[in-house]
Amino acid sequence: MLLSKYLAPTLRDTPADAEVISHQLLLRAGYIRRVSSGIYDLLPLGLKVLRNIETIVREELDQTGAQELLMPMVQPAELWQESQRWQKYGKELLRFKDRHNHEACLGPTHEEVVCDLVRRDLRSYRQLPLTVYQIQSKFRDEVRPRFGLMRGREFTMKDAYSFHADEDCLSNEYQNMFDAYTRIFSRLGLSFRAVEADTGSIGGDKSHEFHVLAQSGEDLIMHCSGCDYAANQEKAVSKKEISSTSNSQLPQDVSTPASKAVGDVAALLDYAESQIIKSMAYHVQGGEYDGQCVLACVRGDDQIQEIKLMRALGADEIQLADEAQVQSMGSVSGYIGPVGINAPVWMDQQLSTAQGMICGANQADTHRQHINVERDITEANFADLRNVQEGESCVHCGGEIESSRGIEVGHIFTLGDVYSQAMQVGFLNKQGRRAITTMGCYGIGISRLVAAVVEQCHDDDGICWPKQIAPFHVSLITLGQSETVRTASKEVYDQLQEAGISVLWDERKERPGVKFCDAELMGFPVQIIVGDRGLKEGHVEFKARRDEEKTSVTLSNIITHTQQHLAL
């Protein structure tokens, strides 16, 4: 391919609206262009990378015995109504009507469609297990698309779905997928980590996320320095040592004018922050407490983890209560406490045996001290509601918990029968009885991976693609316009292609500096430079993208030298 004819427009300046490095470099190096918020053109270079990633994903999934198929992007509302998700999914589901006034949506995920497909033909346990997958465009009308390919509204995803006769079989496949994912991300040359995760709106119970470690990651993951334990912050647990105080005094109000924040109260009354019960009122939607307010409590030096709270409550959505809602609970904002409040109380389990605590007294400028949770808050429910913090101890090995930022590029779930029950994906089991399949689902954000790789593989000059997914193996750079260099370049160009090495030939009438800079920016693993200077001695120059130095190689050796470097 000749660069002069190739649609790979590079930019000298960084576009102002690109925040993260992958977005900037992909725009500057001519891989992507923005069409609309969260919606991108993949230019030829970008598409090549995407396809190369797909190939690796495909190879590894085919290895597991999963079968590739392709489901539609446009999906009828009926299927989503059947699974109840037409109501539950919210605004991320882009809905519209066709010319017959039938409601439909753009698929953000394909559980409904795949269940509908499988249930039509599934008769017997003998047909199970079955795993299918597809690589396809998804559309999620994200509230806030950002960071280019990292969080688009339209994006390419590999999604796989497995169907099983029993839980053991599902566990098996889950592990298969876990292993396949590990191979995939390793082959992509990524530094990544699998972490325990919350299952979110997809539902089900067991779940791991695969995170590419990067400063720009949107997720916080907690992991142990001493063992394999790693979890998304939404899910992470830890041991926290708290020096227990015993208290025999009875609860007593204490005046705390203008002291709402935990720190103020602690300072005023000379308490440790961990002696304070931090109380937050939430308005709940969905589940047992639908439409009500509940009170959530953690120690003053902890943070409430709202995802954990939502799961404990079985809620679909929670929001901090507003002033009026706080009043309806019989309290005053800033002085909320679990004693005598007119609302269900949920406390972090660390508080279950706490003594000598202080909390809001539900009246202005007043707190209540000498609280023993067991004695004084008898109606409370307990659950893990707190955010794990760095430096706490691992529940498995006692090691220290550390945190990293990560880009979620894969997520695997055991779904159980959440969808198969709703969609009635049934079969006859060994006993001849009708049973419902148990399911797993497994996603990889392919287009997000393009960005994630760039986040991990770049330097000040541009992208440094791993050779497995680089759009071309070689940038062939011709310096000058002389007949000699052209002829020599053409020869190298032809021979590379014959050897199965893909090459983008920069034969433009540009100055050397421009060509070098563009080559670094685009980031192919190898640069071969043909100039009059070297040709006089019968050689060209070879430069690996990651190396500073160029080496001289004779014209006759350049192909094998390149082959060896790429290990093709």
**Interface with RNA (CB under 7 A):** 10-17, 19, 28, 34, 36-38, 92, 140, 142-147, 151-153, 155, 157, 198, 200-202, 209, 218-219, 306-307, 310, 408-411, 443-445, 447-448, 461, 479-481, 511-514, 516-521, 529, 531-534, 541, 543, 550
Backbone torsions φ then ψ of 149, nearest 5 degrees = -70, -10
Backbone torsions φ then ψ of 363, nearest 5 degrees = -145, 155
d(C-alpha 566, C-alpha 568), whole Å: 5
Report how far apart the first and last C-alpha atoms of the chain are (Å, whole number): 20
Identify which of residues 266 and 530 has a Cβ nearer to RNA in the complex. 530
CB of 271 to RNA, least distance (A): 28
The closest of 349, 344, 343 to 383, measured between CA atoms, is 349
Identify which of residues 177 and 409 has a Cβ nearer to RNA in the complex. 409
What's the one-letter identity of residue 335?
Answer: Y
Q: Are 221 and 193 in contact (CB under 8 A)?
A: yes
Identify which of residues 168 and 532 has a Cβ nearer to RNA in the complex. 532
Identify which of residues 411 and 473 has a Cβ nearer to RNA in the complex. 411
Identify which of residues 224 and 477 has a Cβ nearer to RNA in the complex. 477
d(C-alpha 146, C-alpha 405), whole Å: 17
CB of 197 to RNA, least distance (A): 8
User: Quick one: DSSP state of residue 446?
Assistant: H
CB of 296 to RNA, least distance (A): 14
CB of 70 to RNA, least distance (A): 17
Identify which of residues 181 and 427 has a Cβ nearer to RNA in the complex. 181
CB of 556 to RNA, least distance (A): 17
- Render the burial of 339-374: b for 16+ CB within 10 Å, e for the rest: bebebbbbbbebbeebbbbbbbbbeeebbbbbbbbe
* Edge-to-edge strand ranges of the sheet holding 551-554: 503-506, 474-478, 526-530, 539-544, 551-554
d(C-alpha 201, C-alpha 88), whole Å: 9
Which structure tokens are listed for 28?
């500057």
Q: Are 525 and 465 in contact (CB under 8 A)?
A: yes
DSSP bridge partners of 359: 368
CB of 487 to RNA, least distance (A): 15
The closest of 301, 315, 393, 316 to 348, measured between CA atoms, is 301
The closest of 211, 207, 183 to 197, measured between CA atoms, is 207
The closest of 312, 274, 275 to 294, measured between CA atoms, is 312
CB of 440 to RNA, least distance (A): 13
Identify which of residues 34 and 240 has a Cβ nearer to RNA in the complex. 34
CB of 229 to RNA, least distance (A): 20
DSSP bridge partners of 82: none
CB of 250 to RNA, least distance (A): 39
d(C-alpha 128, C-alpha 121), whole Å: 11
DSSP bridge partners of 321: none
Identify which of residues 481 and 560 has a Cβ nearer to RNA in the complex. 481
CB of 101 to RNA, least distance (A): 23
Identify which of residues 244 and 484 has a Cβ nearer to RNA in the complex. 484
User: Quick one: DSSP state of residue 425?
Assistant: -
∠ Cα 404 452 505 (to 5°): 145
The CA radius of gyration of the chain, in Å to the nearest whole number, is 29
DSSP secondary structure letters along 179-193: HHHHHHHHHTT--EE
Identify which of residues 266 and 450 has a Cβ nearer to RNA in the complex. 450
Q: Are 284 and 340 in contact (CB under 8 A)?
A: no
Q: Are 61 and 158 in contact (CB under 8 A)?
A: yes
CB of 190 to RNA, least distance (A): 13
Q: Are 361 and 338 in contact (CB under 8 A)?
A: no
Identify which of residues 394 and 454 has a Cβ nearer to RNA in the complex. 454
Identify which of residues 125 and 282 has a Cβ nearer to RNA in the complex. 282
CB of 324 to RNA, least distance (A): 17
CA distances, 69 to each of 64, 85, 137 (Å)? 15, 23, 13
Identify which of residues 370 and 561 has a Cβ nearer to RNA in the complex. 561
CB of 170 to RNA, least distance (A): 18
Identify which of residues 48 and 539 has a Cβ nearer to RNA in the complex. 539
Question: Counting every residue, how long is the chain?
Answer: 568
CB of 249 to RNA, least distance (A): 38
